[in-house]
Structure 1
Amino acid sequence: MEFKDYYKLLGVPRDAPPDAIKKAYRRQARKYHPDVSKETDAEARFKEVSEAYEVLSDPEKRSAYDRLGANWKAGQDFRPPPGWEQAAGFGGGAHGFSSADFNAGGFSEFFESLFGGGFRQTGPGTGRAGGSGFRTRGQDQEATLSLDLETAYHGGRQSLRMGDGRTLAVNIPAGVSDGQRIRLTGQGAPGLGGGPAGDLYLSVHIQPHALYRVEGRDLLLDLPLAPWEAALGSTVTVPTLSGKVDLKIPAGSRAGRKMRLKGRGMPGKTPGDLYVILKIETPPAETQAHREFYERMRRELPFDPRAHLA
């Protein structure tokens, strides 16, 4: 029989860490999945990379495979050393699987010669070898779900148009945060041979808002004030995503002061806060009377905004 270089099949070095092996398998499986691939030998290639992942993702099987040494090359005539199955601990149903659990059509003669006939597949993107030859779970998929801030705050249903033409109705939990992932079970790529579909993971992106800035679960709002409102104090109406509230501005407030409205940020188990940042707007001097008023202020108010720079 021919020796199979599982590392070469997945395109990874022999010292590749488990996460690199998983990533390489997912890339190859996505490329050769018979339900989506246009390659003429897609099913055969898919079985090869799945077999490679079956071995290299299992520390016990990988260790046994590595003991064969790195001198073998793909395609070379191969026979396992005498007593290999018993020494490696995989032969004769060593793991408690009976012949009824196994369909030999799913994996190669090379695999059987190393690990025996009794096994089940493990790992992401795989399933059990079935009576039809090969059964596998579909690949998980990812997509971006773009939401306006109001929808993220209140929750609700959102339609999502997928690249394959499907339209999904997504339930949005109230208070979903930017970057949060929503899992839709069974909405990923279809399985092979009757296997279950993968899952779809939606990464939430909250669109910029005209009024609010989002920082974690907190919201920030710039609140313009007239000079006399800041100097003399006042009560002003502040918009929030849950309705308007009255906010008392202390006398002598300066620009940049941050005032907290507790619990008025994004909802959740621990709700965020709304931080109101005061901004003092200067009225325009559009008429002679306005200019004279400013001249009188300059003469009568002992105020130097740059005194701290002296």
Structure 2
Amino acid sequence: MEFRDYYKILGVDKSATADEIKKAYRKQARKYHPDVSKEPDAEKRMQEVNEANEVLSDAEKRAAYDQLGSRYQAGQEFQPPPDWGSGFEFSGRDFGGAGGDYSDFFANLFGRGGAAAGGPFRSAAGQGGYQMRGEDRHARILIDLADAYHGAVRTISLQAPVADESGRIVVREHSLKVQIPRGVKEGQHIRLASKGSPGIGGGPAGDLFLELSFRPDVRYRVDGRDVFTSLPVTPWEAALGASIETPTPSGPLQLKVPAGSQSGRKLRLKGRGIPAPAGQDAGDLYVLLEVVLPPADSDAARHLYQEMARELAFDPRRQNGQAKGV
């Protein structure tokens, strides 16, 4: 996917103020608006200008875009990192904008309507209708999978992008202590009452909603409350059976590997996935066996392999019905 330089599209510096961005947008709109422009690609260019303005004219989107752009190297294939948008606090208003066509780049970051299905920007649901009440705020935070198993108290840092008096974007950081309940799932929200924007004229503050995502972990894959992991085993453990101490998010446990297991066999540990609230079923833990062969990197090892070849006379291709030599 191609990275879009919104500053270049509008013709402004990265340090441009809100007023400078507004003026640049109006200039580009006069040049490329299809109703008045003589340019052959006016419609396409106008879509690009609208998209750039949608991001750069919004303090929150712009701050997130700037953070993402700082990681991008020219010429690279662009792909948002897994932790994209985590720790950014944004207001509860809808990011849908005025509609229109958006690029794949924009859709991957903010969603077609400005609120990404899996990204940091989502339209708020359930905002208070009282006009003096402060806006709700939203943020996505990363937690460890073990936190969902045991529960935890975590201190998190959130960044709230705002425009200063000159119109430049300033990111203000603040910390909160958060109780992570046992049994939370990916995508679940924690509501912190009165931690949103302050009310107007003495009205009550809005709420802060934290959307939970699991920090990437090469050992585990999560689907709902089910957790999947791989376990390397030796050929003799797979062939003869064994009891192996296995690490899990809830702590090590003894796993019984049945005799005659093959690589790819999936063992289900019922109820060992993410816990659930009372009245609901906990998830399961699935362990995928991976038979790992010892290397033939010594005379003794090669001798053992040669002896196995003679004594066992094992041919997996013939067992599968495949003729020898085919």
Shift in Å at residue 303 of structure 1?
Answer: 2.1
Q: Tell me the alpha carbon deviations over residues 109-164 of structure 1, each in whole angstroms, 9 at most, x when there is no partner.
A: xxxxxxxxxxxxxx94543xxxxxxx611111110111112223211211122324
Kindly indicate whether the alpha-carbon contact (under 8 Å) linking 1:125 and 1:136 is maintained by their aligned counterparts in 2.
Answer: no
Kindly indicate whether the alpha-carbon contact (under 8 Å) linking 1:255 and 1:278 is maintained by their aligned counterparts in 2.
Answer: yes
The separation in 2 between residues aligned to 1:297 and 1:257, in whole angstroms, is: 23
Shift in Å at residue 238 of structure 1?
Answer: 1.6
> TM-score when scaled to structure 2?
0.52
- Output the amino acid matched with 1:300: E
**What SS class does the counterpart of residue 149 from structure 2 fall into?**
helix
Q: Which residue of structure 1 lines up, in the alignment, with residue 288 of structure 2?
A: 277
Alignment of 1:78-97 (within 5 A): none
- Taking a change above 3 Å as real, the CA distance of residues 194 and 248 of structure 1, as seen in their structure-2 partners, is same
Is 1:249 the counterpart of 2:260? The answer is: no
- From 297, 300, 307, the equivalent of 1:289 is 300
The separation in 2 between residues aligned to 1:126 and 1:193, in whole angstroms, is: 15
Q: Which residue of structure 2 lines up, in the alignment, with residue 183 of structure 1?
A: 191
Aligned residues: 183
The separation in 2 between residues aligned to 1:251 and 1:276, in whole angstroms, is: 16
Kindly indicate whether the alpha-carbon contact (under 8 Å) linking 1:152 and 1:172 is maintained by their aligned counterparts in 2.
Answer: yes
The separation in 1 between residues aligned to 2:296 and 2:226, in whole angstroms, is: 37
RMSD across aligned positions (CA): 2.1
Is 1:199 the counterpart of 2:210? The answer is: no
- Output the amino acid matched with 1:286: D
Is 1:218 the counterpart of 2:226? The answer is: yes
Q: Which residue of structure 2 lines up, in the alignment, with residue 158 of structure 1?
A: 154
Alignment of 1:1-310 (within 5 A): 124-127=127-130, 136-162=132-158, 163=160, 164-269=172-277, 270-307=281-318, 308=320, 310=322
The separation in 2 between residues aligned to 1:137 and 1:212, in whole angstroms, is: 42
The separation in 2 between residues aligned to 1:300 and 1:124, in whole angstroms, is: 74
Kindly indicate whether the alpha-carbon contact (under 8 Å) linking 2:148 and 2:275 is maintained by their aligned counterparts in 1.
Answer: no
- Output the amino acid matched with 1:148: D
Shift in Å at residue 255 of structure 1?
Answer: 0.7
State which drifts further: 186-195 or 158-167: 158-167
- Output the amino acid matched with 2:247: P
- Taking a change above 3 Å as real, the CA distance of residues 302 and 196 of structure 1, as seen in their structure-2 partners, is same
Gaps of 5+ in 2: 1-53, 59-125, 161-171
**What SS class does the counterpart of residue 282 from structure 2 fall into?**
coil
Kindly indicate whether the alpha-carbon contact (under 8 Å) linking 1:155 and 1:173 is maintained by their aligned counterparts in 2.
Answer: yes
- Output the amino acid matched with 1:184: L
**What SS class does the counterpart of residue 316 from structure 2 fall into?**
coil
Gaps of 5+ in 1: 1-26, 32-122, 128-134
Q: Tell me the alpha carbon deviations over residues 47-103 of structure 1, each in whole angstroms, 9 at most, x when there is no partner.
A: xxxxxxxxxxxxxxxxxxxxxxxxxxxxxxxxxxxxxxxxxxxxxxxxxxxxxxxxx
> TM-score when scaled to structure 1?
0.55
Kindly indicate whether the alpha-carbon contact (under 8 Å) linking 2:193 and 2:208 is maintained by their aligned counterparts in 1.
Answer: yes
Structure number with larger C-alpha Rg: 1
The separation in 2 between residues aligned to 1:204 and 1:267, in whole angstroms, is: 16
Q: Tell me the alpha carbon deviations over residues 136-194 of structure 1, each in whole angstroms, 9 at most, x when there is no partner.
A: 11111110111112223211211122324332111110121111111111111111111
Q: Which residue of structure 1 lines up, in the alignment, with residue 74 of structure 2?
A: none
State which drifts further: 222-231 or 238-247: 238-247
State which drifts further: 238-247 or 143-152: 238-247
- Taking a change above 3 Å as real, the CA distance of residues 145 and 251 of structure 1, as seen in their structure-2 partners, is same
The separation in 1 between residues aligned to 2:311 and 2:228, in whole angstroms, is: 36
